[in-house]
Amino acid sequence: MLKKMVDLKREDGAVVALFAILMSSVLVIALFVIVFDISALYSERRVIQNTADSSVLATTQECAIGGTGAIINLNNAYSTGVCDNQSFALDFAGKYANLNSPDSLTDVSEICGTASLNQCGSLNTGQFECKSVNSAYKNYVRVKTSTRQSTGTSITSLFTSLVNPSQANVKVIGCAQSAWGKSAYAPVILPIALPICDYALNGTKLIQDFVSNNPVVTGGCTINDLNGDVFTYSSPTNGFSLLSGFACPGIGTPTKVNVGDTLQVESSMSQVISACAGGAVQFQRQIRKLLNTNVYLPIVTSAACQSQSVNCQGNYTFKVASFFSLKYLGSKWKNQLVDGANPVCVVGDPCQTNQSWPVACDATRICIYGTFERTIVPGADVSLDPTFPAVGAMAVQLLP
């Protein structure tokens, strides 16, 4: 009987093929582990950095407006301003970070900045570390966030655990910082400019238009701005003035005004009203929409006469020095209807004893009133110009 011969070469080929398949499977598994690790670390890195960014912006906004943390609570969260107390700031930053974390598991390992926050120390080197802050920014906040899991403060790297089990745990960190200060521009809706010497951050202020078409007065004033800087003005303007060249007032139609811009004063109410297609009725209707909202008003410190006439006859120009943020509460537009309620008078306001409009606000005068407040100008950068004051319109800017 013939015996069947075995083809050893064919068997060797099968072994080689089997070994190749096995090695391919190992490589596929290894690649899968690496890709999984990279994806997990990237996802964690993105979460940690997003929480750092959102937390530092929210904290800086609270610093800019002197807020007490109400944005994370229906009521004021803290007894003083968030940035007036290091422990409040740390607690606020941590809560806000976790409001923006998918699993609410993010640690705020550090918060620092300008007083009253802890002074920031030296920075580490690394791709994800913050950069040094330009000394021109007088006020800033830095927040560092890091990994927190339900089982600890790190995530496990599968690939690293296979290669070196002692280094299997990875802690992801994030760093973000932002500055706050005076805004270099503001969206202006009301065609009105105010003099710097009317600055009064707290309390209701009633302001009348200037007398006899002449905004220039003698004397001066000294103010302390929100940054603690002192500014003295020797020749201020008087009252408020109407501005020409603005659109019909409306929430959706602001005019971007920059510090340093020159504004033309309009002495005729009819010329200002002409910006509205519907005339005085439309102007009044648009103004009424702004009641109880914050509007930005250009601040002027001096006036220049643009007329050859001795009395200038209203042909003045103003140069914008900064912006007030005014909660607009009411106005009286000469012979037209009154917007809002009668002003609640405080000491120093030219109001009658019955807390109504002052006698001067008759058929020949325009009067407005509201409360100066600290608000954030959306999307604005912080101005580094030291020559004009911070008096209400503030900016918050994310830094590298």
Alpha helices of the chain — where are they, by DSSP H?
Answer: 8-65, 86-99, 158-163, 269-273, 279-288
Highest mean pLDDT among 222-231, 336-345, 349-358, 363-372: 222-231
Euclidean distance between CA atoms 81 and 87, whole angstroms: 11
pLDDT, residue 36, reads: 46
Three-state DSSP class for residue 133: coil
| For range 122-142, the mean pLDDT | 88
Give the pLDDT band (50/70/90) at residue 391: very high
Q: What is the pTM of this model?
A: 0.79
How far apart are the C-alpha atoms of 263 and 242, rounded to whole Å? 10
Alpha helices in 100-196 (DSSP H): 158-163
Q: What is the token pair recorded at 184? A: 């270099």
Residues whose CB falls within 8 Å of the CB of residue 249, separated by 6 or more in sequence, listed in order: 189, 190, 191, 276, 283, 286, 287, 290
**Which residue type, as a one-letter code, is found at position 387?**
T
The Cα–Cα gap between 59 and 52 comes to 10
pLDDT at 344: 66
- The CA-CA-CA angle for residues 244, 196, 269, to 5°, reads 25
Q: Which two tokens stand for residue 242?
A: 């109407």
Q: How many CB atoms sit inside 10 A of residue 124's CB?
A: 10
At 134-144, the pLDDT tens digits run 999 989 999 99
Mean pLDDT along residues 155-174: 56
Domain locations in the chain? 18-182, 185-382
Q: How far apart are CA 209 and CA 205, in angstroms?
A: 13
- SS3 at position 197: helix
Mean pLDDT of 42-66: 89
> Strand runs (DSSP E) across the chain, as ranges?
106-113, 140-147, 155-156, 169-170, 173-182, 185-188, 192-195, 204-208, 221-224, 230-233, 241-242, 255-258, 262-264, 293-305, 316-333, 338-340, 366-372, 375-376, 393-399
- Greater model confidence, 259 or 360: 259
Per-residue exposure over 196-223, b if at least 16 CB sit within 10 Å of its own CB, e if not? bbbbbbeebbbbbbbeebbbebeeeeeb
Region 238-243: what's the mean pLDDT? Answer: 86
Asked if residues 299 and 324 have their Cβ atoms less than 8 Å apart, the reply is: yes
pLDDT computed for residue 159 by the predictor: 46
Listed range (215-219, 281-285, 340-344, 345-349) with the worst mean pLDDT: 345-349
